[in-house]
A and B are shown apart, each in its own frame.
Chain A
Amino acid sequence: AQSVAQPEDQVNVAEGNPLTVKCTYSVSGNPYLFWYVQYPNRGLQFLLKYITGDNLVKGSYGFEAEFNKSQTSFHLKKPSALVSDSALYFCAVRVNTGGFKTIFGAGTRLFVKA
């Protein structure tokens, strides 16, 4: 079955420290991977995506993600966390079901402490 896993319900990090939010996937064929962020009482917002090419993808707000095919992972990273980065983060993969639907992970809540 095609799926996305976010093994951590919550990640806590101090402001200024690097952060990592983990994601692993299981798909047949080429993976099309995405990260979204959700702030309280808002819809999801796109952060970045991996389609092909360079394994390190840069996105909005200083976030980046590294695609690792052998480990089937797509971890989200940021070198220096901000308090304003506190939010719910979703990893997602687009799969071919006749059209292309998106499978979202369960989400990881990031808390950045001042």
Chain B
Amino acid sequence: DAGVIQSPRHEVTEMGQEVTLRCKPISGHNSLFWYRQTMMRGLELLIYFNNNVPIDDSGMPEDRFSAKMPNASFSTLKIQPSEPRDSAVYFCASSSIAGGPVNEQFFGPGTRLTVL
């Protein structure tokens, strides 16, 4: 299994531009999570999906952020317009919800976003 796949691995953009981050979860996993990691704020949960349905988006910082999961094998996190304070490493993770809360999450390698 290739694990959780994220693209791009690095993104450098200018303030005001739209940024789209992509994630392919592990096949068979039906729960998907988007996190943001910074030195100042640590690891923050932005949003998570169960069976492609958003369950909790309370961590999405503002309306500039949106996430979709059109099918079980693909999710996007979009920032529009981007700002320098959005610079961070964004992680996608997936897990199985079979059995409830007992399953660990598998993390992708992350996308390092720099907004100039």
Contact = CB atoms under 8 A, between A and B. Distances in A.
A108 to B, nearest CB: 11
B12 interface: no
A55 interface: no
B110 interface: yes
Interface residues of B, number: 23
Given A97-B55, A98-B56, A101-B45, A32 B107 contact: no
Contacts of B31: 99-100
Nearest to B92: A43
B109 A43 contact: yes
A110 to B, nearest CB: 16
Interface of B: 4, 31, 33, 42-43, 45, 48, 50, 55-56, 91, 93, 97, 100-102, 104-110
